[in-house]
């Protein structure tokens, strides 16, 4: 498996607070990579660094062999590296279908293309993906009136609409009704296997991440604590200590 995201010795601090220190990791193409760690361990900071949300202090980040640590958010998104937010972000005043249509990939769209209307194929694709996440029945509802879990599913469908090659998910199951979590895991796995999208997931729910990921990185206090297959991580004493606060 080739490497999609290659993070090398990345450091990031906010004033005196070191959020990430000398982080290196690889996200393999076509796989599901997990990123865990206690609260405040620097997971979201690392995500933000990768997608260009803020500049990094040191190190290098490559996406498909291209250095992206100096690019801005839009440029990186147009390369096909997309993220979802911990606090779900959708366009609340629009209905689900409109949310989906706005998420069409803009990487090839010229200014002139933007003066066209959406095609039949675009609507069909929006419907298919809404069906895929189970929101087809609610597609004409104002998205802001959906429940939080449904908004998360919508955000996931919007990300798929954008046809990314790699998707960074920040706590996809946080705040979701436990009965819906199994359905979401299943859909994430299918997005990975059927659409061929590489997933890189931050997750607090151990059952979820151990179930899905084929490789897991664990951060603590801004540093890389451990990495390995789910079984290794589960039995790693350092990881257990970090979570139980023995550090």
Partner 1 sequence: MTALRYLLYAVLLVITVLAPFIFPDFRTQLATLWLMIIVALTWDMTGGQMGYNSLGNIFFYGTGMYVAAVIAIGLVYDVGVYTSASGGGINEFTPVQYFAGIGLGMLGAGLFCAACAIVIGYITFGLRGPYFAIGTLGVAIAAGELVSNWDWVGGGQGITLPVYPADLDEGKLFFYYVFAIIGVVLFIFLKWLYSTRFGAAINAIRDDEEKAEAMGIHTMRYKLTAWALAAFFVGLVGAISAFQLISFEPLETAYQTINLGIFMVVCVLLGGKGTLWGPVVGAILFHLFKEITWNYLLGWQWVALGALIVVTVVYFQDGLMGWLMHRKPGWFGIRIDEGSDGARK
Q: Summarize as ranges the residues that interact with partner 1 (CB under 8 A).
A: 51, 72-74, 77-78, 82-83, 85, 89-95, 98, 101-107, 109, 111, 113-118, 138, 140-142, 144-148, 150-151, 158, 162
Closest distance to partner 1 from the beta carbon of 45 (Å) = 16
21-45 b/e (C-beta count within 10 Å ≥ 16 → b): bebebbbbebbbbbbbbbeebbbbb
Closest distance to partner 1 from the beta carbon of 78 (Å) = 4
85-110 b/e (C-beta count within 10 Å ≥ 16 → b): ebebebeeeebbbbbbbbbbeeeeee
Q: Which is nearer to partner 1, 26 or 170 (CB)?
A: 170
Q: Which is nearer to partner 1, 69 or 233 (CB)?
A: 69
Q: Which is nearer to partner 1, 183 or 228 (CB)?
A: 183
Closest distance to partner 1 from the beta carbon of 125 (Å) = 14
Contacts 24+ apart (CB under 8 A), 191-195: 191/156, 191/160, 191/167, 192/30, 192/31, 192/32, 195/160
Q: Which is nearer to partner 1, 158 or 191 (CB)?
A: 158
Closest distance to partner 1 from the beta carbon of 106 (Å) = 5
Q: Which is nearer to partner 1, 35 or 167 (CB)?
A: 167
151-161 b/e (C-beta count within 10 Å ≥ 16 → b): bbbbbbbbbbb
H/E element, 101:
helix 96-102
Closest distance to partner 1 from the beta carbon of 164 (Å) = 9
Q: Which is nearer to partner 1, 116 or 237 (CB)?
A: 116
Closest distance to partner 1 from the beta carbon of 42 (Å) = 20
CA distances (Å), 112 to each of 40, 117, 182, 229, in order?
A: 44, 11, 43, 48
């Amino acid at each position: 498996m080739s490497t999609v995201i290659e993070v090398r010795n990345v450091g990031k601090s906010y004033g005196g607070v070191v959020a990430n220190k000398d982080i290196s990791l690889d996200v393999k193409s076509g796989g599901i990579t997990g990123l865990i760690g206690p609260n405040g361990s620097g997971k979201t900071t690392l995500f933000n660094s990768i997608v260009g949300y803020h500049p990094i202090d040191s190190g290098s980040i490559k996406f498909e062999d291209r250095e992206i640590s100096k690019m801005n958010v839009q440029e990186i998104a147009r390369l096909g590296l997309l993220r979802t937010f911990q606090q779900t972000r959708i366009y609340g005043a629009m209905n689900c279908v409109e949310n989906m249509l706005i998420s069409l990939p803009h990487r090839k769209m010229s200014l002139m293309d933007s003066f066209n209307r959406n095609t039949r194929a675009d609507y069909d694709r929006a419907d298919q993906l809404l069906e895929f996440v189970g929101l087809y029945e609610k597609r004409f509802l104002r998205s802001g009136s959906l429940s939080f879990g449904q908004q998360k599913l919508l955000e996931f469908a919007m990300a798929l609409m954008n046809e990314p090659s790699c998707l960074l998910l920040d706590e996809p199951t946080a705040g979701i009704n436990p009965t819906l979590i199994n359905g979401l895991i299943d859909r994430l796995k299918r997005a990975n296997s059927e659409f061929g999208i590489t997933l890189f997931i931050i997750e607090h729910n151990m059952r979820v991440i151990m179930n899905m990921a084929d490789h897991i990185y664990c951060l603590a206090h801004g540093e890389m604590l451990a990495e390995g297959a789910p079984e290794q991580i589960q039995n790693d004493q350092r990881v257990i200590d970090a979570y139980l606060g023995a550090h």
